[in-house]
Amino acid sequence: MIANRRCTETCPADTGLARWEFNTDFTSGSSAFSKWNTTSGTVDSTSLGAKFTISEQGDAPTIESDFYIFFGRVEVKMRAANGTGIISTTVMESDDLDEIDWEQISTYDSSIETDYFGKGNTTSYDRATTVDVTTPEETFHTYTVDWTSSRIEWILDGEVVRTLEYADALSGKNYPQTPMRIKIGIWAGGDPDNSEGTIEWAGGETDYTAGPFSMYVESVKVINYNPASAYKYTDKTGAYTSIKATNGTTSTNLASSSSSVKAASASSSSSAKSSVSSSASASASASATVSAAGSISPYSAFVTFIVAFIAAAFKL
């Protein structure tokens, strides 16, 4: 049984990230939030980065990207919150309820949990694994997900700590494979109104009088392996092969492969001299590297054209 799946009928096209790379430095001020929507509570801009705080019952400050990626790499530098039952999260989620998670449960202050879901299937909760991490509530660590059509890697401070192969996720049926946006937030798993099972998972009831509890996110770095202005579901399967990517006036069916990952890595390297900041305006017509001033270098445009041509020819 598949629970809660949203795209049993149809899903609208998702707004894509039309660049290989997008970086956000939350220590740079409120302008860093320009590509992020606050969906719950209040998130403050501080010298340490974006500050997510639970002060009382019901607080669950959360932001989400205003774009989706279709296979890629997401790197979040974060300091988790303290407090019994407080959960600091970095989540990638699709409209079809595919999901990839990092979850730090503050009750257990020397570990972090990795998890995933496919098409909202919550018939079992046996997919999570726990990874050791040193003082996550006192120290900033970098939590990365590298996601392709064949495997997912969870990477902690540059070291791969878990790999999920496509075939190992119920022969692909539970494998996250549809366009996702990025959600970052904090919530009280130990809230007394939650189910007994959730409170137990969170390590006990949250005592709000011991708060406030704050999580800080210094930066987010995103590489999109299939840059596009939009991603369209062409059927109801929820398979990555059914997703059509639109770039300006052209469309193509895309699937992540080793070549697209290499192309993204090469583009990321060449863009080091003109990194994309969160305050730069998005270019909907190309996946060329855009500088903070909004200019497109001729070299980057040429490389982008060649990559796009090859991708279309081989339907990557």
State pLDDT tens for residues 114-142: 999 998 887 766 789 999 999 999 999 99
Specify whether 64 is catalytic. Answer: no
Lowest mean pLDDT among 16-30, 224-238, 245-259: 245-259
User: What integer is the mean pLDDT of 261-286?
Assistant: 40
At residue 283, the pLDDT reads 35
At residue 7, the pLDDT reads 65
- With beta carbons less than 8 A apart as the criterion, state whether 81 and 186 touch: yes
At residue 313, the pLDDT reads 46
Residue 215's pLDDT band (boundaries 50, 70, 90)? very high
Of 147, 248, 128, 140, the residue nearest 189 (C-alpha) = 128
How many helices (H) and strands (E) are present in the chain, helices listed first?
3, 19
- With beta carbons less than 8 A apart as the criterion, state whether 29 and 233 touch: no
Mean pLDDT of the chain: 82
User: Beta strand 243-247 with 250-253: parallel, antiparallel or unpaired?
Assistant: antiparallel
For residue 53, what are the β-bridge partners? 214
**How far apart are the C-alpha atoms of 303 and 215, rounded to whole Å?**
39
At residue 294, the pLDDT reads 30
Give yes or no for residue 270 having a pLDDT over 80. Answer: no
Rounded to the nearest angstrom, the gap between the alpha carbon of residue 1 and the centroid of all alpha carbons in its chain is 26
Of 312, 268, 283, the residue nearest 16 (C-alpha) = 283
At residue 300, the pLDDT reads 40
DSSP string for 227-284: --SEEEE-SSS--GGGEEEEETTEEEE----HHHHHHHHHHHHHGGGGPPPTTSPPPS
At residue 8, the pLDDT reads 59
**How far apart are the C-alpha atoms of 140 and 79, rounded to whole Å?**
4
Give yes or no for residue 45 having a pLDDT over 70. Answer: yes
Residue predicted with more confidence, 286 or 99? 99
- With beta carbons less than 8 A apart as the criterion, state whether 113 and 103 touch: yes
Q: pLDDT tens digit string along 70-98?
A: 999 999 999 999 999 999 999 999 999 99
At residue 179, the pLDDT reads 97
Lowest mean pLDDT among 34-38, 65-69, 235-239: 235-239
**How far apart are the C-alpha atoms of 270 and 105, rounded to whole Å?**
38
At residue 287, the pLDDT reads 35
**How far apart are the C-alpha atoms of 63 and 252, rounded to whole Å?**
30
Segment (H or E) for 146: strand 141-147
Share of the chain above pLDDT 70, in %: 74
At residue 120, the pLDDT reads 85
Give yes or no for residue 189 having a pLDDT over 50. Answer: yes
**Domains of the chain from N-terminus onward:** 14-223 (2.60.120.200), 228-314 (no CATH)
Give yes or no for residue 251 having a pLDDT over 60. Answer: no
Of 74, 162, 170, the residue nearest 119 (C-alpha) = 170
User: What integer is the mean pLDDT of 162-183?
Assistant: 96
Structure tokens that stand for 281 in this block: 């305006």
What percent of the residues of the chain are helix, what percent strand, and what percent coil, each to the nearest 5? 20, 40, 45
Alpha helices by DSSP H, listed for the chain, are 196-201, 258-270, 298-314
Exactly one of 21, 75, 93, 99 is catalytic; name it. Answer: 99
Residue 188's pLDDT band (boundaries 50, 70, 90)? very high
Structure tokens that stand for 48 in this block: 């340490």
At residue 274, the pLDDT reads 38
Which amino acid makes up residue 210?
A
* Residue whose pair of structure tokens reads 């549809």 in the numeric block: 178
At residue 247, the pLDDT reads 83
Specify whether 99 is catalytic. Answer: yes
- With beta carbons less than 8 A apart as the criterion, state whether 137 and 79 touch: yes
Eight-state DSSP code of residue 12: P
Give yes or no for residue 307 having a pLDDT over 90. Answer: no
Structure tokens that stand for 7 in this block: 């795209």
Identify whether 176 is preceded by a cis peptide bond (ω within 30 of 0): no
Exactly one of 21, 75, 103, 137 is catalytic; name it. Answer: 103
User: What integer is the mean pLDDT of 41-67?
Assistant: 97
Angle, vertex CA 61, rays to CA 56 and CA 64, nearest 5: 170
